[in-house]
Structure 1
Amino acid sequence: MFVNMGIGLIMPITTLFIHEKLKQSLVVAGYVLMGFSIAMVLGNLLGGFLLDRWRVKGTHYLGGIIVIGSLAIIALYPIWPLYAFIVVFYGLGLGILNSAVNGYIAYLQKKDNAIFTNAYWLANVGMGVSTFLSGILFSIGIRAVFLSSMFLFIITIIMIIFYFKPIEQKRKTKKDSIGKIGRDEKSLVSLGIICLTVIIVWIGYEQWNSNISVLMLSKGISVQKYSFLFTISTLEIIIFQPLMRPLFKSSFKSEKKRVILGVLMFALSYLLILNATTYWRFILGITALSIGDILALTTLPALLNRYANDSNRASIQSVSSTAGSLGRSLGPLMGGYIISQYSYNILFIMIFSAHLILLPLIMSLKKSIGFDGERGK
């Protein structure tokens, strides 16, 4: 939750700060965010690799030190071009820390089946609170934003020092040099399907964060109403996720069913806004998206963890995080191109169709070796 709050405080005002305060163009701001995204992808992969092969707490500390150090420098010297370089460095540390936390959760899931769902719920609470506070802190001053975020990450590292417990990791041997996944082609295919699902879901999801705002403005719907859609979405996730949790058991079959239903709801969200001209249609669309979020995005990490063993849990989670980052990077670019060449309706139909294509692929997922070498149930 605190990691997400740290992200949520800074990212909403990054473009605004670069353009309005540092007097750089929106194109330059876009390049800075691209550099941040690439650095975070590298951090995700590095964090997963280090957690599996180095030290658990050491990996968290490395990411935390880079993040806190970067925020301290930005708070002291929020100037151009230093800001651009430090934001990229911040992305690297954030990727390492985020991947380490997700990897640690993957180990704990063996004892707590609901931990991914609980973590995702709290992450949404954190993001909702921080995005609300971001604008308030920015009006006080940019240093207030960076110092507040730095304070959150300091609390995070303190929690890791005192409350994160050691985990038993099975180190790789020569006999098992590439791990279970390398020996099981079906598992490798299943991992590919899950990562493809993450990419397509986020390509669609990013349309709500970017291109749909332009569509709503062209229909005479205000920026305030567009922003309020995400308040509605966050509230729906916070309220409905705990209510839906008892409806599904912790099993391979149940998790696969949740992802299928979630992908269907994601697909429906784009049909609901075809030819939309009124605000209530977009509310219906974001509601379907929120339900898809609750069903699929909370379940995909747990489903992915069923294809891991104790020598590669964090690495496999980091691959999924990288797939998500790829989808988020491609979404606005692909959406903008399709809209400019064709129309919004063509874009929504294409995204809807892509989600439908995912369904038979997800249905084809096969069980793999479960936790501690047992068959996944």
Structure 2
Amino acid sequence: MPRALWLLIFGMAVNTIGSSFLWPLNTIYIHDHLGKSLSIAGIVLMLNSASNVIGNLYGGHLFDKIGGYKSILLGISIALLALIGLSIWNVWPEYVVFLTIVGFGTGIIFPSMYAMAGSVWKEGGRKAFNALYVAQNIGVAVGSALGGIVANYSFQLIFFANTIMYFLFMLIAVFGYKGISNITKKGKQEEQKEAVNNNNVNLKALLILCLGYLLCWVAYNQWTTTIASYTQEIHISLKQYSLLWTINGALIVLGQPLLNIVLKYLKSSLKIQMLIGIGIFIVSFIIAAKAGTFTGFLAAMVILTIGEMFIWPAVPTVAFSLAPKGKEGIYQGIVNSTGTGGRMIGPVLGGIIADLYGMPTLFTILIGLFIAAIITTLTYDRVLKKKTVVSGTVRGQM
């Protein structure tokens, strides 16, 4: 892998370690420490995610206009200032204000990270995006493990730890990312003309795919919201819950060699890869719905992890393949904002359903969302096939 990609991987890991101190525990903090209902907690997280969606789209636009270096520094600066405020004022309602600003700042960062990764190692294909995905999960494993331990002593320390890690991330970006050129701006005039022609049909395919991606994230996000709170109600300790996410991250890192063998053996397209992942998600949620002990949730988490290893890196890979020249940033912004949109809708939807109808009903609805996601994944590339009939070839057809 290129040196530039290693710098992006390292920065992604540090960034995620910091955020993973807090995000798995947000609902627990709002519900148990601030004394708010699950519905209110869902609304707070929805505001955080809504600002993150805006940040994703803005960050993708900035990448295409001013490059990744300046975009990432702007996002880090906004997030860091808000985290300093959150470390000092983490009571109601200040908690809501600062958490919302953090969402906007972090949202700006991710499209540039992914677009830069695809640009510096185009020949790597899915490997560049998978590398960032693995780095994120190293951060999840380390951050959530430390977060659970620290939270048992004091939630106040959680906020300070998050702030310190973002300061380290800023140092990495300042001294490491300036030399990473935005090579997407070096396309030839002919490629720019082709990009205009390809943009509409490719964008339509991406939006169809991202609809299913959103539904998957709505369901997946319940593990950090309603399911997190539910585990506390059935007397699974905070330390055990945090351990689930540590196992999640560790399996993603350690399971990569096995995953590569499986994908090579199946000779699967990205489309088949995503469909397999969604099917595995369904199995995981069926097991979680019947679980009443830590062992049951552990089994569900292991299966969930296998599913996300198939689907999460595949979607940004498809997006980069679909992106016309000079639009790599905004396409990654759409993918990231879609995932964030799922995390925005998930808490409030899951919280309301859990409060009104209970967890069994919630699990049934979540499985229905996965089935709908299978349908969108099966059909997203039909517009590309239609274009192939008309023009002969399609840039980005998987």
TM-score range, shorter chain: 0.7 to 0.9
**Residues 197, 276 of structure 1: alpha-carbon distance in 2 compared, 3 angstrom cutoff:** same
The letter for the 1-side match of 2:166 is F
Counterpart for residue 334 of structure 1: 349
SS in 2 for 1:310: coil
The letter for the 2-side match of 1:159 is I
Aligned pair 1:343/2:354, yes or no?
no
Contact 1:264/1:355 (<8 A) preserved: no
Contact 1:194/1:304 (<8 A) preserved: no
Q: Distance in 2 between matches of 1:247 and 1:233?
A: 19
Q: Distance in 1 between matches of 2:369 and 2:117?
A: 31
The farther-off stretch of 220-229 and 107-116 is: 220-229
Contact 2:145/2:242 (<8 A) preserved: no
Q: Within 5 A, what are the aligned runs for 1:13-32?
A: 13-15=25-27, 23=34, 25-26=36-37, 29-32=41-44
Question: C-alpha displacement at 1:352, in angstroms?
Answer: 4.6
Q: Deviations over 1:324-360 (max 9, x none)?
A: 1111222244345555458356325423532443453
Question: Among 52, 57, 60, which residue is 2:64 paired with?
Answer: 52
TM-score of the superposed pair, with normalisation by structure 1: 0.82
Aligned pair 1:149/2:162, yes or no?
yes
Question: Among 139, 147, 150, which residue is 1:126 paired with?
Answer: 139
The letter for the 2-side match of 1:162 is F
TM-score of the superposed pair, with normalisation by structure 2: 0.78
SS in 1 for 2:122: coil
Question: Runs of 5+ in structure 2 lacking a partner?
Answer: 1-12, 389-393
Contact 1:60/1:96 (<8 A) preserved: yes
The farther-off stretch of 194-203 and 142-151 is: 142-151
Aligned pair 1:198/2:216, yes or no?
no
Question: Runs of 5+ in structure 1 lacking a partner?
Answer: none
Question: C-alpha displacement at 1:18, in angstroms?
Answer: 5.3
**Residues 270, 33 of structure 1: alpha-carbon distance in 2 compared, 3 angstrom cutoff:** closer
Counterpart for residue 222 of structure 1: 236
The letter for the 2-side match of 1:54 is I
Q: Which has the higher contact order (CA 8 A, sep 6+)?
A: 2
SS in 1 for 2:124: coil
Contact 1:274/1:345 (<8 A) preserved: yes
Q: Distance in 2 between matches of 1:270 and 1:215?
A: 14
Q: Deviations over 1:208-229 (max 9, x none)?
A: 33334566677x5634555544
**Residues 356, 33 of structure 1: alpha-carbon distance in 2 compared, 3 angstrom cutoff:** closer
**Residues 347, 336 of structure 1: alpha-carbon distance in 2 compared, 3 angstrom cutoff:** farther
Q: Distance in 1 between matches of 2:79 and 2:203?
A: 33
SS in 1 for 2:183: coil
Question: C-alpha displacement at 1:140, in angstroms?
Answer: 5.3
Question: C-alpha displacement at 1:195, in angstroms?
Answer: 0.5
SS in 2 for 1:309: coil
Q: Deviations over 1:309-328 (max 9, x none)?
A: 33111111111111111112
Aligned pair 1:110/2:110, yes or no?
no
Question: C-alpha displacement at 1:207, in angstroms?
Answer: 2.9
Contact 1:65/1:93 (<8 A) preserved: yes
Counterpart for residue 207 of structure 1: 222
The letter for the 1-side match of 2:344 is S
Q: Deviations over 1:209-259 (max 9, x none)?
A: 3334566677x563455554434333322221232124436xx96322211
Question: C-alpha displacement at 1:5, in angstroms?
Answer: 1.4
Number of matched residues? 370
Counterpart for residue 260 of structure 2: 245
Counterpart for residue 324 of structure 1: 339
Q: Distance in 2 between matches of 1:348 and 1:85?
A: 30
**Residues 198, 349 of structure 1: alpha-carbon distance in 2 compared, 3 angstrom cutoff:** closer
Q: Within 5 A, what are the aligned runs for 1:209-358?
A: 209-213=224-228, 222-223=236-237, 226-248=241-263, 254-273=269-288, 275-276=290-291, 280-337=295-352, 340-341=356-357, 343-344=361-362, 346-358=364-376
- Taking every aligned residue pair, what percent have the same amino acid on both sides? 24
Q: Distance in 2 between matches of 1:332 and 1:76?
A: 26
Question: C-alpha displacement at 1:11, in angstroms?
Answer: 2.5
SS in 1 for 2:323: coil
Question: C-alpha displacement at 1:288, in angstroms?
Answer: 2.4
Q: What is the root-mean-square deviation of aligned Cα atoms in Å? A: 3.6
Q: Distance in 2 between matches of 1:291 and 1:118?
A: 16
Question: C-alpha displacement at 1:297, in angstroms?
Answer: 0.6
Question: C-alpha displacement at 1:179, in angstroms?
Answer: 7.6
Contact 2:17/2:140 (<8 A) preserved: yes
